[in-house]
Amino acid sequence: MEYIKNKFYQKASKCINEYQKLKNEHGDKVIANVTIGQVMTGMKGVPSLITDTSKLDPNTGIRFRGYTIPELREKLPRLNPEGEPLPEGLFYLMLIGEIPDRDDVLNISKDWATRAYVPQHVFDVIDSLPLTSRPMTQFSAAILSMATDSIFQKAYRAGVHKKHYWDTTYEDVMNLIARLPRIAAYIYRRNFHNNHHIEPDPRLDWAGNLAHMMGHDTEEVKRLLRLYMVVHADHEGGNVSAHTTHLVGSALSNPYYAYAAGMLGLAGPLHGYANQEVINWIFDMIQELDNDNPSEEDIVAYTKKTLSEGRVIPGYGHAVLRQTDPRFTAQQEFAKKYIKDDKLINIVNTLHRVVPPILEATGKVKNPWPNVDAYSGSLLYYYGVKEHSFYTVLFGVSRALGVLASLVMDRLYGLPIERPSSFPLKWYHEKAGEK
């Protein structure tokens, strides 16, 4: 499967010169001013990272190498005309910058199937954790334990030249991505199906195999997981999971360390844990109202009550987006197409109507619209993946595609260690002209 690696190098190596030219010839050019407000609100909008895989527009949402989600759903190869595109195709697009043909995608599926072997000690690490430990704790521990296999780390210690770092990073990244469905499914079956594990089927595609190993071996769940893996894969470079993976990787930590660190960020409730929180929050509402078919008025009242308790409404708001998230819309369209009438999905749709004006009325929420997490849990639940404490693991499996494709490029460009400056609060007071 050297073909994909060679193709990547052929295309991406041209950018090394562009990077060097910008650094050497235009290093002094000013591209932005930074305000105290930006520093005080999480550096939003400060251009400071290089990420080629995708770019987020506040109003139109994510584009992967220039393609919107509806364009991807139309153009990326799929297994059958009625299905969803394979995430393997999106990985190819993010890495190489071109829409793949069907053979390219099937080649990646095969490549990952041959790399999917998970060493026994990874299962031992998972099994050593109590069942009370969260699935994301088990997932990140499992990823970390695979660092024993890092080819990059071995090559670094052997003194390989820095211009070759990308090569062993690529190998680690492909191995890591290939193993994730097996690890995720193992955690799922361990926690929720009495440790009855299901062996991988190497003939299946990456997401299809995940559904199979989780025990949801239907075409419907495979189709849903293919969509899920595509829409969650990347959201430019500044979000917590992508930025953390890049930051840790910038110290030349091996890809297992870098991605495990990114996953610990994804596990936070303001980021990827929000997909679980949405379902937790809806179920708390149902329980409190003692009604699984709440009226619009009940939902409005519960939303306002949550806000009055100083809590956030999960699945709403975004640090960059200022419109409904197209990842939300893609899932909503999927639900419209395949699901006729479902109580949980009806609640999610009602929330979509009532929450934005309530958040807008607070006068402080910059984006009152739903994000990706507002829909994902209800779809999984509908199709029988009801164990919501597991949902962030699925988000994590998908997020590997974008953040690890970027890590290969970081190493190809030879990006340096990241090291912004920090100052005491007093310094900012002085800059503001205060004493």
Smallest distance from ligand FAM to CB 319, Å: 4
Q: Distance of CA 29 to CAs 18, 25, 351, Å? A: 15, 9, 46
Active-site residue, from 318, 352, 388, 410: 318
Q: What is the DSSP letter of 164?
A: G
Grouping H, G, I as helix, E, B as strand and the rest as coil, residue 159 is coil
Whole-number CA gyration radius for the chain: 22
Report the C-alpha gap between 36 and 425 in whole angstroms: 11
Contacts of 349 (CB under 8 A, 6+ apart): 332
193 labelled catalytic: no
Smallest distance from ligand FAM to CB 272, Å: 5
216 labelled catalytic: no
Residue keyed to tokens 């999610």: 348
DSSP readout, 380-435?
Answer: HHHTT---GGGHHHHHHHHHHHHHHHHHHHHHHHT----------HHHHHHHTT--
Longest dimension (CA), the chain: 68
CB 431 within 8 Å of CB 37: no
Report the C-alpha gap between 380 and 363 in whole angstroms: 33
Smallest distance from ligand FAM to CB 190, Å: 25
Grouping H, G, I as helix, E, B as strand and the rest as coil, residue 178 is helix
The CA dihedral of 102, 107, 113, 119, to the nearest 10 degrees, is -140
Residue number with CB closer to ligand FAM (197 or 304): 304
Gap between the terminal Cα atoms of the chain: 63
CB 272 within 8 Å of CB 392: yes
Smallest distance from ligand FAM to CB 368, Å: 8
Smallest distance from ligand FAM to CB 301, Å: 16
Residue number with CB closer to ligand FAM (239 or 332): 239
Active-site residue, from 212, 271, 352, 388: 271
Smallest distance from ligand FAM to CB 135, Å: 17
Report the C-alpha gap between 245 and 177 in whole angstroms: 14
Residue number with CB closer to ligand FAM (106 or 307): 307
Report the C-alpha gap between 344 and 155 in whole angstroms: 51
Smallest distance from ligand FAM to CB 280, Å: 12
Report the C-alpha gap between 68 and 76 in whole angstroms: 11
Q: Distance of CA 407 to CAs 14, 167, 220, 286, Å? A: 17, 11, 32, 42
Nearest to 273, CA basis, from 420, 126, 196, 376: 376
373 labelled catalytic: yes
Report the C-alpha gap between 399 and 403 in whole angstroms: 6
Residue ranges binding ligand FAM (CB under 6 A): 239, 270-272, 274, 307, 312-319, 359, 364-367, 371-373
Smallest distance from ligand FAM to CB 327, Å: 8
Residue number with CB closer to ligand FAM (255 or 265): 265
Smallest distance from ligand FAM to CB 340, Å: 27
**Which residues on neighbouring strands pair with residue 62, listed in sequence order?**
56
Active site residues: 271, 318, 373
